Amino acid sequence: MAREAFIMEKTETLKDGTKVTIRNLTVEDLDRLMSFYRSLPEEDIKYLRVDVTNKNIVKQRIEFAKAGDIFRIIALKGDSIIADGALELTTEEWRRHQGELRVIVAEEFRRKGVGMIIMRELYFLAMEKKVEKVVAKMMKPQIAARTICMTLGFHEELVIPDYVKDQTGNFQDLIIMTCDIQELWKELDQFYMDSDWERCR
Ligand X SMILES: CC(C)(COP(=O)(O)OP(=O)(O)OC[C@H]1O[C@@H](n2cnc3c(N)ncnc32)[C@H](O)[C@@H]1OP(=O)(O)O)[C@@H](O)C(=O)NCCC(=O)NCCS
State the residues that interact with ligand X by CB under 6 A: 44, 102-105, 110-116, 136, 138, 142, 144-145, 147-148, 151
Minimum Å distance from CB 181 to ligand X?
17
Q: How far apart are CA 116 and CA 144, in angstroms?
A: 12
Minimum Å distance from CB 132 to ligand X?
20
Q: Which of 9, 5, 169 is nearest to 75 (CA)?
A: 9
Minimum Å distance from CB 27 to ligand X?
23
Nearer to ligand X, 39 or 147 (CB): 147
> Do residues 105 and 77 make contact, with C-beta atoms less than 8 angstroms apart?
no
Q: How far apart are CA 3 and CA 113, in angstroms?
A: 29
Q: How far is CA 58 from CA 23, 51, 89, in A?
A: 18, 8, 19
Nearer to ligand X, 72 or 102 (CB): 102
Minimum Å distance from CB 197 to ligand X?
8
Nearer to ligand X, 1 or 133 (CB): 133
Q: How far apart are CA 115 and CA 109, in angstroms?
A: 9
Minimum Å distance from CB 131 to ligand X?
16
Query: What is the number of the residue whose Cβ is closest to ligand X?
Result: 115
Q: How far apart are CA 136 and CA 146, in angstroms?
A: 9
Nearer to ligand X, 147 or 190 (CB): 147
- Does residue 43 sit in helix, strand or coil? helix
Residues 6 or more apart whose Cβ sits within 8 Å of residue 6 = 24
Amino acid at 176: I
Nearer to ligand X, 7 or 148 (CB): 148
Nearer to ligand X, 4 or 7 (CB): 7
Minimum Å distance from CB 1 to ligand X?
25
Residues 6 or more apart whose Cβ sits within 8 Å of residue 87 = 70, 71, 99, 100, 101, 122, 125, 126, 129, 131
Q: How far apart are CA 172 and CA 58, in angstroms?
A: 23
